[in-house]
Amino acid sequence: MARLYLLLAAIFGGSGVLAGAFASHGLRGQISDRALATFETATRYQLYHALALLGLALLLWVLPPMGAARQSLGLAGAGFVGGILLFCGSLYGLSLAELGLGDLSLGWVTPLGGLAFLLGWGSLAIAALLLPNQPAPTGSDPISPEAEEIPATPGKPSPGA
């Protein structure tokens, strides 16, 4: 699942940048200011949630299997993907309707995408509550006061000495 979310983060991130460039250079002056603002909102939410998917992918990659917490993280990713497809997709369609490339009847889909985003964020919060409350293993967190000391290189004092 981590690999899938990483791939989707890359696809949604790259296509979000492309959509932003298209809005700025191809749509400005072609559609109304209101439609352009709607398109830019879709782009912004797509990029935000591409970053959220990237974070989820990294969490799923490094965290050991944890049952319910891992399932909740998976559900969060599904919510983010669904939100991008439904919320952002419908806003893109609404914006491009002025050019005959979209459909104004997509307006009813937008709130469903918003609910998918909320499902994603809520699932992420649940996963945070389900994660074990344990410190990182000794030596793996250099900021932690319990982290083991790095051995000194010959001829150099050890850190903290």
Given the structure tokens 């945070």, which residue do they identify? 128
pLDDT at 151: 55
pTM: 0.81
The residue-averaged pLDDT of 125-139 equals: 76
Residues 4-16: pLDDT tens digits? 999 999 999 999 9
DSSP string, 98-132: GGTSS-GGGGGTHHHHHHHHHHHHHHHHHHHHHS-
pLDDT at 63: 84
